[in-house]
Amino acid sequence: MLKVHARNLGAVTVLCLRGRMVDGETAVLSDAVHSQSGVGTVVLDLRQVSTIDARSLGVMLELRQETCARGIDFKLMNVTKLVSDVLERTRLNSVFEVACGLATFSEA
């Protein structure tokens, strides 16, 4: 089961994800991203993601496209080795912007 906890840091919302990002578990992520308004950046903190599948990658791509259309930056942070490997194999590592950490947003 995927759990999402939102942390608002001014114009930045960090969505801390925990669990498995697999088909049938991503609605909570979509809802969390869609509920963001008045922010300039949405960041997915993937530190506690244990599994990710192709459907979840598709959801992340859709969310990135939707947020960008609304003028909101979409970034990833704390990308685990597992997620990094999946992004590299699918060549999506060049699509998603990966932030180094919360310090990146301290002045946002």
Classify the C-alpha dihedral 69-55-101-16 as positive or negative. positive
Residues in CB range of 11: below 8 A, 6 or more apart: 39, 40, 41, 108
- Say how far apart CA 60 and CA 17 lie, in whole Å: 12
pLDDT single digits (tens) 52-86: 999 999 999 999 999 999 999 999 999 999 999 99
- pLDDT tens for each residue of 5-47: 999 998 999 999 999 999 989 999 999 999 998 899 999 999 9
CA angle 16, 46, 84 (to 5 degrees): 170
Query: Residue for token digits 């089961």?
Result: 1
State both tokens at 96.
Answer: 């998603």
> How far is the C-alpha of 96 from the C-alpha of 1, rounded, in Å?
24
